[in-house]
Amino acid sequence: MRKLDFEGIYEEYFHVVYLYMTSLTGDENVAEEMTQEAFFKALKAIDQFDGSKDIRAWLFTIAKNTYFSYYKRKKRQAVSNFIEEKDEDIQFVHHLMNEEKAFIVHRFLHQMAEPYKEVFSLRTFGELPFERIGQLFGKSAGWARVTFYRARKQIREYMEGMDDER
């Protein structure tokens, strides 16, 4: 693609990326700022886009990564989602609070299959409600909830296995 095409891409896809960001953030002002940032990143990387995938999917990936980066910069804590969980989940929270164990969780997370990895990340790091996650996947809030708990169970079992090896 030539850089001259970027203006057309911007005009055609800005609104859908903005709506996606609004669904993630729930805040129109933040969504607009993050959409602008995502398109800036896309502009810088447009020469790397080879056209083998849908441009919209590529833009959504950049937007999603921009969203995660935004909350990382704001130092949101993943642990806050788990505070109200059952007593059996306390061990899991301790894993996330411990820097070394948090790194192990992140490493395992990168190996997880989809949609578990993305649902877990959206819920934990993006702090999205199950309703929003379900909407992103075209599924129900119940599906998102079950997928999240299954992902968390996989992580918990992995961490317990790591503890048993020590």
pLDDT in tens, 30-56: 888 889 999 888 888 877 877 777 788
Q: Render pLDDT for 123-145 as a digit per residue (tens, 0 to 9).
A: 877 778 888 888 888 988 889 98
Examine the domain organization and report whether 85 and 160 are in the same domain: yes
Output helix, strand, coil percentages for the chain, rounded to the nearest 5.
80, 0, 20
> Which domain covers residue 126, as residue numbers?
78-165
Q: What is the total count of domains within the chain?
A: 2
Residue 10 has a pLDDT of 84
DSSP 8-state secondary structure symbol assigned to residue 113: P
**104 CB contacts (<8 Å, ≥6 apart)?**
95, 159, 162
Rama region for 2: left / alpha / beta (φ>0; ψ in -120 to 50; rest)? beta
Examine the domain organization and report whether 157 and 125 are in the same domain: yes
The pTM for the full model equals 0.44
Residues 86, 83: Cα–Cα separation, whole Å: 9
Is residue 71 within 8 A of residue 128, CB to CB? The reply is no
Residue 79 reports pLDDT greater than 70: no
Tracing tokens 């990326």 back to the chain, one arrives at: 17
Confidence bin at 57 (pLDDT 50/70/90) = confident
Residue of 100 and 147 predicted with greater confidence: 147
Examine the domain organization and report whether 83 and 142 are in the same domain: yes
